[in-house]
Amino acid sequence: MSLRNKMILSFILVSLIPFASGLVLAIKNSEPTVRSEIHQKLEAIQSAKVTRLKERFKGYHSAAVIFSRHRKFQDLFVDYEDALDKGKDSDEYKAVMAKNSDFLKTSATELDFGDILLVSNKGDLIAKGDNPSLNIGTNLLELNNRFSQKLKAVLDSSYAGADSIIFGDYIKLPFYNENFAFFISRFAPNSSQRGRWQKGESIGAVLLAIPTKAVNEIANELTGLGTTGETYFVGMEPDGQTYYRTNRVVKKGNIGEKRGGSSVEKAFKEQKTMDHKVKVGSTGAVEVEYFSFIKDFGLNWAVFTTQSEDEAMAAIYAIYKTALVVGLFFAVAIFIFSYYFSQSITKPILNVVARLYQGADHLKKTSSNMETQSERLSSASTQQASSLQETVASVDEISAMIERNTDASNESKDLSGKSNEVATRGKSTIEQMIFAIEDINSSNKDITDEMQHSNQQIQEIVHVIKNIGEKTKVINDIVFQTKLLSFNASVEAARAGEHGKGFAVVAEEVGNLANMSGSAATEISSMLDESIRKVESIVSMTQQKVDGLIVKGKEKVETGTRVAHECGRALDEILSNVRLVNDKVAEIAQASVEQSQGVQEINDAMRQLDEVAHVNSSIANESAGNVRILKNEAVELNSIVEELNNIVTNRRKAA
C-alpha cells in the first residue's frame, strides 16, 4: 500500500469507528421503542373506534328503551292492528298508513336508524316507515333464520323494560336490499285506558333497524393507518361460523361474507380484550395486527386493526436512511480531508520520482529502439542477401521459361496454320454438302410430280370402270326388255293352245337366260362399285401419305440446308479467329525474345546487389553488439529508479 493510501485509511478508520459504533447502538436501542409505539398507536386507534361504536350503540339502545314505552307507539299499535283486522288493502288501513308512515320514517331518519318496524304478538309485520305498504302482513317468525329466532325470544318473554331489548346481528331480510342489525324491544301499554290491552300486558315488538353505515363509517376511518392499514369487525353466528360485520377498504371483504383464519379463531376462542402479533397477511406482506373483543349490548364481535410492517416501521427505516446518509457524508468529508493532506506530503516526492523514472525510462526505450533497429537492419540485410540470391535463381528460371515460351509460341503458330488449312477444307466440304442437299430437294420435287402423274392415271382407270358400270346398266335394260318379251311370248303361246307349246318352251328358256344375264349384270355392277371405292380410297390414302412425306422431307431438307449454312458461317469465324491467333502468337514470340534480353540484364544487377547486401549485414551485426551494451546500462538505471518509486507509491510501473 502506498504512503498516501496508508495516511487516508488511517484518518478514515480513526474517525468512522466511533461514529459507526454509536450509530449502530442508537438504531438498535430505538427499534424496540418504535415497535412499542406502533402497537400503542394501533391499540389507541382501535380503542377510539370501539368507544365510538359503543357510544353509537348506546344511543340506539336508549332510543329503543324510549320507543318501547312511547305513547305514540302505543297509539300506532292500536290504529294499525285495528285497521289490519279489516285487511291490508282496506281503506281503513290505507288511511292509517297515510297518517302515520311519515312519523315512522322521520323518527328513523332523525335517530339515524335505517327503518322502524312494528310487529304483532303473532309475529306479523303491521307497519314500517320505509316502503310502508310493502310486505305488510308478512309473518317474520316464518323466516326461519337467526333473526326470526331473536324475534320469537322477545315475543315469548314478558315486558321487563330495558331488559326486554335484545340485539339482532346484521342480516339481510327479503324486503331490504342491504344488511341491517336490529334492536328488538318488547312493547307494553302504559295505561289501562288505552285500547284492547291491559297495563303490563305485552302488545307486540318494536324493531329498530341499524344500517351498515353506522359501523362502516367508524371502521373505515383510516386516520393514522396510512395506505395499508384498516379496521374491520367480525361477528360469530350461533352455528360457530364467523362473518364480516363491516366492509373492508384495503383488502376485499363485505358485510355478510365469511371471514376465517387463525387470528379470528384465536379471538373468538380466547375472547381476549386485546392482543398484538406480527403475521404474514393474505397478500404475502408482513402485517402488524391488534385485536380486541366486544360483548356489550349483546354483541359478539371481534375487532381487528392491521397495518403492513413496512409502512408501520417507516419511521425507523427513515432513521436508518438518515443515519446512512450522514455516515456516508461524514466518510466522504474525512476522505476528502485525508486525501488533500496526504497529497501535500507525497506529491513533491512523487514529482521527483516521476522525473527520475521518466529519464530512466526514456534512456531504456532509446536503447531498446536502437537494439531493435540494429537487429532489424541485420535481419533485413541477411534477408535481403537471401532474397537477392533467390531472386537471381528465380530470374534464371524465368529466362528458361521465356525460352520455352518462345518455342511454344512458334509451335502454336505452326498449329494455327494447320488449323487454318483444315477450316478451309471444312468450309469447302460444307459448300458441297449444301449443293447435295439442294439436289435432294430437286429430286423430291420430281418424285412429287411423278406421284401426281400416277394419281391422274389412276383417276383415268376409275373413269373407265365407271364407263363399264354405265354399260352394265344398258345390259340390265336389255335383260328387262327380254323378260318382257318372254312374258308376252308365253302369253301368246298360251292363246295358241296346243300349237303354241313349243314356242312357250322357247319363251321360258329365253326368260331364264334373261334372269341369269340380269343376275350377272347385277354382280358385275356391284363389283365395279366396290372397285371404284377401293381405288378412290387407295388414291386418297396414297396422296395423303405422299403429301406428308413430301412435307417432312421438305422440312428436313430445309433444316439441313440451314444447319449447313450455319456451319459455313461458323467455319468463317473460325478462319478469322485462327488468323487473329496467328498474329498474336507472332507478337508473343517477339515479346518473349525481348523479355529474355531484359531478364539477362536484371540478373546482372541482382548479383551486384547481393554483394552490397553482404557488406551491410556485417556492419549491422557490429552495431547490434554495441547497442546491447547500452541497453544493459539503461536497464540497470531503470531498476534503481523503479525501486525508489516503489518505496514512495508501493507499486511497480510496468517496464
Q: Which residues pair with 210 in a beta bridge?
A: 181
Q: Cα–Cα–Cα angle for 598, 603, 604, nearest 5°?
A: 100
Average pLDDT, the chain: 77
- Domain assignment present for 254: yes
- Mean pLDDT across 31-50: 82
Q: Which residues pair with 293 in a beta bridge?
A: 302
- Domain assignment present for 418: yes
Sequence-separated (6 or more) residues with CB below 8 Å from residue 571: 423, 426, 427, 430
- Domain assignment present for 651: no
- Domain assignment present for 165: yes
Greater confidence, 151 or 253?
151
At residue 140 the predicted structure's pLDDT band, cuts being 50, 70 and 90, is very high
d(CA 140, CA 173): 10
pTM, entire model: 0.46
By percentage, how much of the chain surpasses pLDDT 90?
5
Q: Find the CATH number of the domain harbouring 113.
A: 3.30.450.20
By percentage, how much of the chain surpasses pLDDT 70?
80
Greater confidence, 409 or 305?
305
Question: Which of 107-116, 275-284, 301-310, 585-594 shows the lowest mean pLDDT across its residues?
Answer: 275-284
pLDDT tens readout for residues 359-404: 667 766 776 777 777 677 667 767 766 776 777 677 677 777 777 7
- Mean pLDDT across 198-205: 69
Greater confidence, 200 or 290?
290
Q: What is the pLDDT of residue 193?
A: 47
Domain boundary pick from 315, 345, 376: 315
**Are 309 and 420 contained in the same domain?**
no
pLDDT at 602 over 50: yes
pLDDT tens readout for residues 214-258: 888 888 888 888 788 888 888 888 777 887 788 777 777 788 788
- Mean pLDDT across 57-72: 84
- Domain assignment present for 502: no
**Are 371 and 239 contained in the same domain?**
no
**Are 407 and 259 contained in the same domain?**
no
Contact indicator for 293, 321 with CB cutoff of 8 Å: no
**Are 360 and 300 contained in the same domain?**
no
Q: Find the CATH number of the domain harbouring 425.
A: 1.10.287.950
- Highest mean pLDDT among 134-148, 175-189, 440-454, 502-516 belongs to 134-148
- Domain assignment present for 20: no
Question: Could you give the number of structural domains in the chain?
Answer: 2
- Domain assignment present for 336: no
**Are 178 and 311 contained in the same domain?**
yes
DSSP H/E element including 556: helix 501-649
Contact indicator for 88, 246 with CB cutoff of 8 Å: no
Contact indicator for 2, 651 with CB cutoff of 8 Å: yes
Name residue, grid cell 341369269. 516
- Mean pLDDT across 314-328: 69
**Are 66 and 142 contained in the same domain?**
yes
pLDDT tens readout for residues 537-547: 877 887 788 67
**Are 32 and 96 contained in the same domain?**
yes
d(CA 295, CA 236): 11
Q: What is the pLDDT of residue 115?
A: 92
Domain boundary pick from 286, 315, 344: 315
Contacts 24+ apart (CB under 8 A), 246-252: 246/212, 246/215, 246/216, 246/219, 246/220, 247/212, 247/216, 247/219, 247/220, 249/220, 249/222, 251/281, 251/282, 251/283
Greater confidence, 498 or 318?
498
- Domain assignment present for 523: no
State the Rg of the chain over Cα.
70
**Are 155 and 299 contained in the same domain?**
yes
**Are 185 and 251 contained in the same domain?**
yes
**Are 108 and 257 contained in the same domain?**
yes
pLDDT at 320 over 70: no
At residue 117 the predicted structure's pLDDT band, cuts being 50, 70 and 90, is very high
pLDDT tens readout for residues 260-282: 777 787 777 777 666 666 666 55
Q: What is the dihedral of CA 444, 448, 453, 454, to 10 degrees?
A: 90
Question: Which of 347-351, 437-441, 519-523 shows the lowest mean pLDDT across its residues?
Answer: 347-351
What are 400's three cell numbers?
Answer: 528458361
**Are 272 and 400 contained in the same domain?**
no
Burial class (CB in 10 A: 0-12, 13-18, 19+), 100: buried
**Are 305 and 392 contained in the same domain?**
no
Task: Find, among 331, 335, 337, the residue nearest to 18 by Cα.
Answer: 331
Q: What is the pLDDT of residue 113?
A: 92
Could you give the C-alpha distances from 596 to 35, 140, 407, in angstroms and in order?
107, 135, 13
Residues of the domain holding 633? 355-483+537-646
Name residue, grid cell 318473554. 157
What are 436's three cell numbers?
Answer: 447435295
Phi, psi of 134 (to 5 degrees): -85, 130
Greater confidence, 115 or 439?
115
Q: What is the pLDDT of residue 277?
A: 65
